[in-house]
Amino acid sequence: MSGVLHLARPEIVALAPYSPARWDPALVRLHANENPWRGAADRTRAGLNRYPEPQSSLLIDRLAALYGVAPEQVLVGRGSDEGIDLLVRTFCRAGQDQVLICPPTFAMYRFAAAVQGAGVIEVPLRREDGFALDAGAVLAACTPATRLVFLCSPNNPTGNQLDRQAVRRIVEGLAGRALVVIDEAYVEFSSAGSLAPWLARYGHLAILRTLSKAYGLAGARCGAVLAAPEVTGLLRRVIPPYAVSAQTIEAATDALAGDGVEACRDQVRRLVEERGRVAARLASVPLVSKVWPSEANFLLVESPDPGRLLEAGIAAGLLVRDVRGQAGLSGCLRVTIGSPDQNERLLAALEAA
Ligand SMILES: Cc1ncc(COP(=O)(O)O)c(C=O)c1O
């Protein structure tokens, strides 16, 4: 295990943690300037008149069990978007440090870096090789100012799983040099499992997970950073104490209780099946020249006239994502797998375009 504290912003390492109002449900709360009465429309169990438990222990325990890690290795936040933002703010000094990204990829890594004033190094995925990760190029591009290396697997918007050997080469090559962040927002839809077991071996690894995709809770905003306690401890200093709302805590803990996890897995199985069916049909649409293989809940589609496909979708009341503006994605659209009925409507519209 290699430490990471020397990679974090020194002022965050030195920061005395904010001390929120003591959490002790057995005692009456006259210490947090809350209203003693619930609102008339409040349907929560906890009562929205009360601040939620910071880093709810029940939610952390359920996420730790779901992801197969220890509770100290879990930081819960408002989606993995917040995890990305916290990592950048904790590890990158404005005007000095950099993140490394492998485009085309999820846009929030670059966005969070821009907000923080961190530099961005780009090492493109190799489109000619199925958007493969170039481990040698990533290692060569890292500088002493590189603090975070974001790898997204399965990658958004290309849909492919990154090669494990290439990821391992990067992780091993960067021990003591940078924190490697693997975004697994779509891993539930892939044939390969999570890399969370690698956390036992690599202290400079962080994994992003979310309940927004497979667990159907995008509106609740709940995601996790899985990492060594040294890393989650730093992020806990930076995240606002009451970031995760009482409604989110209840929605997420409920979703992970009883047979909730099995029900989600069942939905994932149906979406994966639907992904195969939609991919096959799309491949025969006259205006579609290529459907990239996908390990996620979306398909990257290439067309000689993507504008016409977009318009046909909108005319049928359906939105697909225009990703043509991203480097390396000329002629491409990203189609999310919907319900069978929604997919059928889209396919009919595109076939008629
Ligand atoms: C790769 C990737 N990471 C993270 C996120 C953010 O997810 P969340 O809803 O957990 O903030 C998304 C959302 O689309 C994504 O595609």
Collect contacts of 339-347 with beta carbons under 8 A, ≥24 apart.
Answer: 340/274, 342/318, 343/274, 343/277, 343/278, 345/316, 345/317, 345/318, 346/313, 346/316, 346/318, 346/320, 347/278, 347/281, 347/282, 347/285
Output the six-digit token pair for 315: 């005319």
Q: What is the mean pLDDT of residues 331-343?
A: 98
pLDDT at 152: 98
Burial of 262 (C-beta count, 10 Å sphere; 0-12/13-18/19+): exposed
Tell me, using a 6 A CB cutoff, whether residue 218 lines ligand 1. Answer: yes
Q: Treating both helix axes as pointing N-terminal to C-terminal, what angle do 306-315 and 340-352 enclose, rounded to 10 degrees?
A: 130
**Pairwise CA distance, residues 83 & 231, whole Å:** 12
Closest by Cα among 216, 154, 217, 210 to 187? 154
pLDDT at 2: 54
102, 181, 212, 217, best to mutate for ligand 1 pocket (most atoms within 8 Å of CB): 212
**Pairwise CA distance, residues 15 & 352, whole Å:** 60
Tell me, using a 6 A CB cutoff, whether residue 80 lines ligand 1. Answer: yes
pLDDT at 1: 46
All residues at 6 or more sequence positions from 67 whose CB lies less than 8 Å from its CB, including other chains: 74, 194, 196, 207, 209, 224, 226
pLDDT at 23: 94
Tell me, using a 6 A CB cutoff, whether residue 106 lines ligand 1. Answer: yes
Output the six-digit token pair for 311: 């318009």
Taking the centre of ligand 1 as the mean of its atom positions, its distance from the CA of residue 109, in whole angstroms, is: 10
**Pairwise CA distance, residues 157 & 168, whole Å:** 22
Taking the centre of ligand 1 as the mean of its atom positions, its distance from the CA of residue 122, in whole angstroms, is: 20
108, 111, 337, best to mutate for ligand 1 pocket (most atoms within 8 Å of CB): 108
Taking the centre of ligand 1 as the mean of its atom positions, its distance from the CA of residue 35, in whole angstroms, is: 35
pLDDT digits (tens, 9 = 90+) for 297-317: 999 999 999 999 999 999 999
CA distances from 254 to 79, 130, 170, 189, 247 (A): 17, 39, 37, 22, 10
| Fold adopted by 5-255 | Aspartate Aminotransferase; domain 2 (3.40.640)
Tell me, using a 6 A CB cutoff, whether residue 155 lines ligand 1. Answer: no
What is the average pLDDT score of the chain?
A: 97
Has domain 260-352 been given CATH number 3.90.1150.10? yes
* pLDDT band at residue 18 using 50, 70 and 90 as cut-offs: confident
Q: Where are the CATH 3.90.1150.10 domain residues in the chain?
A: 260-352
Parallel, antiparallel, or unpaired: how do β-strands 290-291 and 298-302 relate?
antiparallel
Ligand 1: nearest atom to the Cα of 78? 11
Burial of 265 (C-beta count, 10 Å sphere; 0-12/13-18/19+): middle
87, 184, 190, 210, best to mutate for ligand 1 pocket (most atoms within 8 Å of CB): 210
Tell me, using a 6 A CB cutoff, whether residue 152 lines ligand 1. Answer: yes
Cβ atoms of 346 and 320 within 8 Å: the answer is yes
CA atoms within 13 A on the CB side of 69: 28
Taking the centre of ligand 1 as the mean of its atom positions, its distance from the CA of residue 306, in whole angstroms, is: 24
75, 80, 82, 87, best to mutate for ligand 1 pocket (most atoms within 8 Å of CB): 80
pLDDT digits (tens, 9 = 90+) for 262-297: 999 999 999 999 999 999 999 999 999 999 999 999
Go through the chain and tell me how many residues it has.
353
Tell me, using a 6 A CB cutoff, whether residue 343 lines ligand 1. Answer: no
Q: Where are the CATH 3.40.640.10 domain residues in the chain?
A: 5-255
Tell me, using a 6 A CB cutoff, whether residue 101 lines ligand 1. Answer: no
pLDDT digits (tens, 9 = 90+) for 177-199: 999 999 999 999 999 999 999 99
pLDDT digits (tens, 9 = 90+) for 224-272: 999 999 999 999 999 999 999 999 999 999 999 999 999 999 999 999 9
